[in-house]
Amino acid sequence: MATVLCIDDNRNVLELHKSLLESNGYRVLVALDGPSGIALTAMVLDFNMPGMDGNEVAQVMAKEQPMLPVVICSGYIDEIPES
């Protein structure tokens, strides 16, 4: 069974992701901010978070684990830069 880590500062979004992924057979870990997620190894993360946004987390992950797929999502799609 694959494990997925979801990072979002919104607990409701985390619970939604967790429920959806667990119902599809995944083991799900959650973190409420970027640094906590990096400590666990991120795969799904929110773009807009206090302290460290999703883009910053993705850049750290790309350096530390370049083969790890990272998905950035947000409820504010217009605020996510193309880079």
Per-residue pLDDT of the chain (83 residues; tens, 9 = 90+): 788 889 999 999 999 999 999 999 999 999 999 888 877 765 678 888 889 888 888 888 889 888 777 777 777 767 666 65
Q: Return the closest-CA partner of residue 1 out of 20, 22, 19.
A: 22
Domains of the chain with CATH codes:
3-79 (3.40.50.2300)
- Residue-level pLDDT at 28: 95
Specify the pLDDT at position 47: 81
Q: Name residue 15's amino acid.
A: E
Sign (positive/negative) of CA torsion 31, 28, 74, 81? positive
